[in-house]
Amino acid sequence: MGQLLRCINCDKVFFKTPFDRWPEYEYTSVFSSGTVRMIERDDFQEFLASHRGHRLEELKVHENSYVGEKPYIEPVKTSYFKATNGKERFVVKKFRERIDEPLSYQLMHGNYSLRCTRIDIQSQQIKKQLEREFKHSPISDYEIEAFLKLCQEVALSAEVEKLGKTPKNANTL
C-alpha cells in the first residue's frame, strides 16, 4: 500500500501512501451556523522539501513483524515493525498521541525479537462477554468466577517456552 523512505543524512523516515494529498477540513462554529474550510495538503512534497539535497533510500518492511501495545486497528497507540535497506536492519516506531494528529515514525538501528514469558487471561473482558452471552439465561457470579479461575490455572500451568507460533493461514475451529 505504501512506500517507506529513509533520509540517509538524518535518519528520518516517511511512509508514503495515497492519503498524503488528502485535504484537511477545519470547522469553525459561529453560534448556530458554522463554516468549513478545506486546507490543501501534500505531506510527501513537504518531506521532500525538508530533505532537499539529502540522499533517500527505500526500506523494505518485514512481513509479520508488527508488534504493538494495542490492537492494530486502534488509531492512538505506539507500535513497532522491522525494516531493512538490504544491508542494515532497522526498527520503526509508529505512533501518535491524539487522534487529530498525523502518524509519526521514528527510525532505530537494530532489531528485536519476541518471546513469550507468560500467559494472562483477560478476566474482566471474558466476564463481560459471558454476561452478555448468557443475558437471557444468566449464570451465577460463582460459576463465572469458577470458570475464570480454571482458565487462569490453565494459563499459569502452560509451559510457555514450548509454545509455538501458529501460521497466519492456519485452519481454526
Q: What is the pLDDT of residue 169?
A: 59
Model pTM score: 0.67
pLDDT tens string 121-152: 899 999 999 989 988 888 898 999 999 999 99
DSSP 62: P
pLDDT tens string 36-95: 889 898 989 999 999 999 999 999 999 889 998 888 889 999 999 999 999 999 999 999
Neighbours of 155 (CB within 10 A): 13
Q: Which candidate, 61, 103, 115, places its Cα nearest to that of 84?
A: 61
Q: What is the pLDDT of residue 167?
A: 63
Q: What is the pLDDT of residue 55?
A: 96
Q: What is the pLDDT of residue 145?
A: 93
Contact criterion met (CB below 8 Å) for 11 and 107 = yes
Q: Which candidate, 58, 114, 113, 69, places its Cα nearest to that of 95?
A: 69
The dihedral built from the CA positions of residue 63, 91, 80 and 5, taken in this order, carries a sign that is: negative
Q: What ranges do the domains of the chain cover? A: 3-23+44-109, 123-162
